[in-house]
Structure 1
């Protein structure tokens, strides 16, 4: 029996008991992230993030930043959090649970954006507002915040060209893209091709790594088997999690070529310091999280979101969605101090652990 039904049963029995028991039944207890104890709480905001295996950003940055900003904007507000752990079906269950709990605003980063249309329609029919976070979910979204994802792909391609230097024009490239179910992955891919096409010799191998390091490792191994050790001169990886597996496989095969990533994960930045990874892309997570929290609280309080969402986008299922898009930055060994460290994402002590102390010293990080 779930918590909502159990509480309803207790309250029904409690009608014949003392007033204090009845009162205790009438109000849910304090909610913790991921719990179901805030049923019907008018100050509860749902937060659903997509996965925690390929990218550590969601647990390390997005969740705590959103929770902190919501609290700063609305002291009485609670965030009910769940992570889909890479499962669209699980995320649908989590979404349905929030609707059952009576949550009025849900911040949704969809694992499979195309699958959400019926979810968001159902929410809208119940008066529940959905803020699409990072990925543009299908359906009648109330607001959206993300980055200019095609521009991020361009930045990735530009950084890969810079890593290749004068050799770029004669370079063959392997591309390991993100999950095809993720609309952002398609935009990263489009942007990367915009930067690379015509500037490199050829993209000789291109596959989806599905945001899965294991799959990405398998794909790069297949590329090595097909083209040999000298058959490509650089690897585009759509994110740092996949880049880690790609670099491991390349090292095992005795291949050293520039490999790029995205997300500015701590281990990704450490690989950049060590020279194993050419670059990563730092998306200003705190600004994105703040925007999501501002949109969610404004919707919860019945305010106009256009004070936060300064532009609009269209999706295949909705038009003129109020939107706030943010910028991203390339992170190389030379720019770590002026990007992720300057913004307080990492301290030198976070990056420069014992294994990376010498590389940090050489890079002047302290």
Structure 2
């Protein structure tokens, strides 16, 4: 598949769009953060602020998909982009920059949902509409688009139980590595997983991995020391990035064949599923989420209603009731890789089945 082109197919709909390549440069420079070369002085300017560059999805999928959909819906709209690189202070400064540039709508995936509240208020005070993207930012946001994040946790927990099979007993020790507490989604993933796992297995060790593979590796290494390598039945990891660090820790301790969950359907996660070192992930199709955010942004910038788009509501950590659009996630295991991420052309067989994974791909029916 052409490296500059992806097509994500949801159900029977097939959509092709070109992906742009994020520019490189020094941190803090708008162009370095992937920002448009435009001055941002247009009357229809939208700011897109994403939280980090460690999670592969943001620069590779969310940004180009969002930009393409905005351009499709509004030819004279301009998108200004910045990535916080995991720094909440930097993201606050980026909001200030967007305000100075005169953007009309800010679409933000908050690095820290609580810390960004003041910045959201500042933008709204200037007449700017704010859309919370993927993570529910605090403050007076106009709309929120994401997936049903408690459902994500439920899918993760159920996939772990399914993988354990008859070994899923109240005495079975499960290690639980959650996301960053600054991300409100992490609490919802955790709540959903506990809803499914509690009473079915024993959560013998639970810590935050801060969405970092290195931290997750350290936490699981500590869990192995505390519990014992032979006494761990499975590991819940809240996303694929952390699952990578955990898989390394398990291998180093001589542990194999136990369930390990994930999320985001990252390429490395899919490859581990094929290889058998990760049991599942959760696929949250990026295109419908980016498309939904773009439609909301364009409607707001053009003064149109969003009631038909944001059909439910959620209450944020600041107590604000936010019109919301929630999409449905999908659990992915080795059994349905071909029917999900490959069928949707998120990843091609060629991308998944490199020389290292060729034998496992053949056994899984991908080649």
TM-score by length of 2: 0.88
Matches within 5 A, 1:116-265: 116-169=116-169, 170-200=171-201, 202-256=202-256, 257-265=258-266
Moved more, 97-106 or 253-262: 253-262
Measure the CA separation in 1 of the matches of 2:108 and 2:241.
Answer: 22
Unaligned runs of 5+ in 2: 1-30
**Contact persistence 1:33–1:79 (CA under 8 A):** no
Show the counterpart of 2:339.
338
Does 2:353 correspond to 1:352?
yes
Show the counterpart of 1:101.
101
Deviation at 1:74? 1.0
Measure the CA separation in 1 of the matches of 2:34 and 2:309.
Answer: 25
Measure the CA separation in 1 of the matches of 2:38 and 2:282.
Answer: 38
**Contact persistence 1:281–1:328 (CA under 8 A):** yes
Show the counterpart of 1:291.
292
CA-to-aligned-CA distance 1:218-275 (integer Å, 9 cap, x gap) = 1011011111111211000000000000000110110112111100001100110111
Measure the CA separation in 1 of the matches of 2:348 and 2:232.
Answer: 35
**Contact persistence 1:36–1:101 (CA under 8 A):** no
Show the counterpart of 2:329.
328
Matches within 5 A, 1:30-45: 33-35=34-36, 37-45=38-46
Show the counterpart of 1:69.
69
Deviation at 1:39? 3.3
**Contact persistence 1:141–1:318 (CA under 8 A):** no
Measure the CA separation in 2 of the matches of 1:77 and 1:185.
Answer: 33
CA-to-aligned-CA distance 1:6-36 (integer Å, 9 cap, x gap) = xxxxxxxxxxxxxxxxxxxxxxxx9x94157
- Equivalent position SS for 1:259: coil
Show the counterpart of 1:113.
113
Show the counterpart of 1:281.
282
Show the counterpart of 2:13.
none
Deviating above 6 A after TM superposition, structure 1's stretches of 4 or more consecutive aligned residues are none
**Contact persistence 2:95–2:123 (CA under 8 A):** no
> Between Structure 1 and Structure 2, how many residues are aligned?
334
Measure the CA separation in 2 of the matches of 1:158 and 1:120.
Answer: 36
- Equivalent position SS for 1:307: coil
**Contact persistence 2:46–2:80 (CA under 8 A):** yes
Measure the CA separation in 1 of the matches of 2:37 and 2:352.
Answer: 37
Measure the CA separation in 1 of the matches of 2:79 and 2:40.
Answer: 12
**Contact persistence 2:105–2:300 (CA under 8 A):** yes
**Contact persistence 2:88–2:116 (CA under 8 A):** no
CA-to-aligned-CA distance 1:287-326 (integer Å, 9 cap, x gap) = 1111000001111111101122121222243544221000
- Equivalent position SS for 2:342: coil
Show the counterpart of 1:14.
none
Unaligned runs of 5+ in 1: 1-29
Measure the CA separation in 2 of the matches of 1:98 and 1:35.
Answer: 12
Q: CA RMSD in A?
A: 1.4
Larger radius of gyration: 1
CA-to-aligned-CA distance 1:26-57 (integer Å, 9 cap, x gap) = xxxx9x9415742321122100000111x211
**Contact persistence 2:138–2:320 (CA under 8 A):** no
- Equivalent position SS for 1:306: coil
Measure the CA separation in 2 of the matches of 1:240 and 1:319.
Answer: 31
Measure the CA separation in 2 of the matches of 1:89 and 1:124.
Answer: 19
- Equivalent position SS for 2:206: strand
Deviation at 1:135? 0.5
